[in-house]
Every structure is written in C-alpha cells, then in structure tokens.
C-alpha cells in the first residue's frame, strides 16, 4: 500500500469496542491494526494507515487556536 504521491484502492475496517468513549481498532486490508480512543484518534489511526506516519495531523491538532485579531 502506497498512498502519498499516488492513488490506489484501500479498504480500512473499523471495529468498535465501545461507543462511550469511542474505542476500537482500525485495520488496513494488509492486516495492520491501529488502536484508538476518541474521534480524533480514529482520524489519526486512519491517517497512519494511509501512510502519514510522521503524525503531522497530531501536531496540527495540538496547536493553539487564535482569535480573529491574533489573540487567543
């Protein structure tokens, strides 16, 4: 499986173990699984399965948000 820079088909299975809090495992068709807890970790697990292993999605989530005039 190779996504960045090209296109391909991939099947990702999401198995839920609990709904509150959302907990489960996302797995690619090659069998590799990534556990998650919460919606943001689910998105991160899918990103990791797609080949974004540098966790840039996680760093972007942790940046402080600024108001419309540059304040917090």
Which pLDDT tens digit goes with each residue over 13-38?
999 999 999 999 999 987 778 999 99
Identify the pLDDT of residue 54.
62
Q: What mean pLDDT is predicted for residues 2-11?
A: 70
Q: How many CB atoms lie within 10 A of CB 36?
A: 20
Overall average pLDDT of the 44-70 stretch: 65
Confidence at residue 50, expressed as pLDDT on a 0 to 100 scale? 84
Could you give the CA distance from residue 3 to residue 33 in angstroms, rounded to a whole number?
17
Q: What does each C-alpha distance from 10 to 1, 3, 27, 29 come to in angstroms?
A: 8, 9, 10, 7
Greater confidence (59 vs 48) lies with 48
For residues 49 and 53, give the distance between their C-alpha atoms in angstroms, rounded to a whole number.
Answer: 8
Contact 28, 49 (CB under 8 A): yes
What pTM was estimated for this model as a whole?
Answer: 0.62
Lowest-pLDDT range of 7-11, 16-20, 47-51: 7-11
């Amino acid at each position: 499986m190779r996504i960045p820079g090209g296109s391909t088909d991939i099947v990702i299975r999401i198995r839920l173990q609990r709904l509150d809090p959302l907990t489960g495992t996302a797995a690619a068709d090659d069998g590799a699984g990534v556990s998650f807890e919460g919606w943001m970790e689910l998105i991160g697990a899918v990103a990791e399965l797609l080949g974004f292993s540098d966790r840039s999605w996680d760093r972007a989530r942790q940046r402080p948000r600024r108001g419309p005039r540059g304040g917090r």
